[in-house]
Structure 1
Amino acid sequence: MTRAELFAQIQKKSSFLCVGLDPDLAKIPAHLLSEPDPIFSFCKAIIEETADFAVAYKPNIAFFEALGAKGWETLKKVEELIPADIFTIADAKRGDIGNTSKLYAKAFFEQMNFDSVTVAPYMGADSVTPFLEFEDRWVILLALTSNAGSMDFQLIRDENGKPLYQSVLEKSKEWGSPENLMYVVGATRGELIGEVRKVAPAHFFLVPGVGAQGGSLAEVAKHGMNSHCGLLVNSSRGIIYASSGKDFARIARQEAVKLQAEMSVLLEQYL
């Protein structure tokens, strides 16, 4: 999917919602456990009820990998189920030497058909650029994450006072462009989103941390939105686990509607 196509979907749906698919057998509604493929049944119901309001889906690959070969089969079925006009993110957080990264890219872009994959930048250019060689596919690079341990490295300052995450942003802009490179920027660091936007004014940000993790959607939009929206705000637990009963999909839809309504107002305000 191209940047223009993604922005067109945002405009069409008045939404920049990304629904995170983190299907945990210990958390999905108990009545699904008797299904032949409980994880697929869960994801299918969530997708069917939220697709009208989501512009992206983000399966967290770990929840599928943990199930072995069957999990990979389920992941492929889930990816194929997502409507073609909705952006897909393989949340795999890969990053290795060049030839290995090339094979990771082939796995998610050729064996499956994801539009993007999350990538860790720590090993540098040769671990990231193989993912950027695929036309109309995206790297979503970890820049400023919302987990507690992010402070261990990302905010370390060099002798000039520049934090490490800014160096990552500046260097990685040499590898890709706003047409194929996005950044993960955590919503719980609202005060820093604006600083990231200064360094990467035209790029899209994938923003986790709104909802269950306490991030403010209004603050994210205030500091992070650009002329093409530039935001994919992810909600996982706040939508998919809003109910543990047989009504889980209907309640997930209600939560998606709430977020989309708020996003619609913010789009009108800032675009």
Structure 2
Amino acid sequence: MNRKALFQLIKERKSFLCVGLDPDPARLPKHLGEGPAAVYRFNQQIVDATRDLCVAYKPNTAFYEAMGPQGWEVLHATLEYIGDDHLKIADAKRGDIGNTSKMYARTFFETLHADAVTVAPYMGEDSVKPFLDFPEKWVILLALTSNMGSQDFQFTPQEDGQPLYAKLMTKAQEWASPDELMFVCGATHPEKFRELRQLAPDSFFLVPGIGAQGGDLAAVARHGMNDHCGLLVNSSRGIIYAGNGEDFAAAARKSAQELQQQMVTALATYLP
């Protein structure tokens, strides 16, 4: 899915919501049973309940890898179940020397048929470039993340006085265009979004931290939106664990709908 198609989807659904599919077997509703099959049933019902309210899904691969070989099967089946009318983001946070990154890229783009993958850029350009060799696929670089530990390194001043996240975003735009490259920018740093948008005016930002982590959607939209929206706001736990009974899917839909309604307002207010 290219940038034009993604923006069209945002306008049609009046939403820039990404639903994180991070199923913890210990938190699944009891009536679904146990094991990988229960996880897949859970994902199916979450997708069915939210499909018309979001433009992207983001399974975090750790939740599937922890289940062993069957977990990979569930991840593949989940991505297939989502289909082609949403951006499918493999939240894998990979990144290694070039030949290894090439294999990671093939895993997520060719084997699992994801549209995008999150990449850790610490090892530099040659660790990122192999992910960029796949037409109409997206690389989403970790820039300013939503976790508390983001303060440990990402704010470190560089020789030019810029914090590390700013240098990363500036440098990475020499490697690829906004049609290939997004950045992870956490909603727990709402005061930074004006600066982040100035650093990458045309790029899409994948924005975690809304919901369970307490991020401010209104502030993110006010300072982070550009003329093609430029935002994919993710909520995982706040949606998929909104309920834990037999009505969990309805509860998930209600939570997703609340965010989507805020997005309707934001798009009407801030989109040129």
* TM-score (norm: length of structure 1): 0.98
SS in 2 for 1:193: helix
| Deviation (angstroms), 1:130 | 0.4
Q: Are positions 1:246 and 2:246 aligned together?
A: yes
Q: Are positions 1:16 and 2:16 aligned together?
A: yes
Indicate the residue corresponding to 1:66 in structure 2: 66
Indicate the residue corresponding to 2:235 in structure 1: 235
SS in 1 for 2:206: strand
Q: Distance in 1 between matches of 2:235 and 2:164?
A: 27
Instruction: Kindly indicate whether the alpha-carbon contact (under 8 Å) linking 1:187 and 1:220 is maintained by their aligned counterparts in 2.
Output: yes
Q: What does 1:1-271 correspond to in 2, within 5 Å?
A: 1-34=1-34, 37-271=37-271
| Deviation (angstroms), 1:120 | 0.3
Q: Distance in 1 between matches of 2:69 and 2:144?
A: 32
SS in 2 for 1:117: strand
Change in CA separation of 1:12 and 1:126 when aligned onto 2, cut-off 3 Å: same
Segments of 5+ residues of structure 1 without an aligned counterpart are none
Q: Distance in 1 between matches of 2:36 and 2:125?
A: 43
Residue type at the aligned position of 2:129: T
- Cα deviation digits, residues 115-164 of structure 1 (max 9, x gap): 00000000000100100010000000000001111111100002432101
- What is the number of residues matched between the two proteins? 271
Query: What fraction of aligned residue pairs are identical, expressed as a percent?
Result: 59
| Deviation (angstroms), 1:106 | 0.3
Q: Distance in 2 between matches of 1:185 and 1:214?
A: 14
Q: Distance in 2 between matches of 1:252 and 1:170?
A: 37
After TM superposition, the runs of 4+ consecutive aligned structure 1 residues lying more than 3 A away are: none
Q: Distance in 2 between matches of 1:82 and 1:192?
A: 33
Instruction: Kindly indicate whether the alpha-carbon contact (under 8 Å) linking 1:49 and 1:250 is maintained by their aligned counterparts in 2.
Output: yes
SS in 1 for 2:246: coil
| Deviation (angstroms), 1:98 | 0.3
| Deviation (angstroms), 1:36 | 6.7
Q: Distance in 1 between matches of 2:66 and 2:161?
A: 41
Q: Distance in 1 between matches of 2:42 and 2:66?
A: 16
| Deviation (angstroms), 1:83 | 2.8
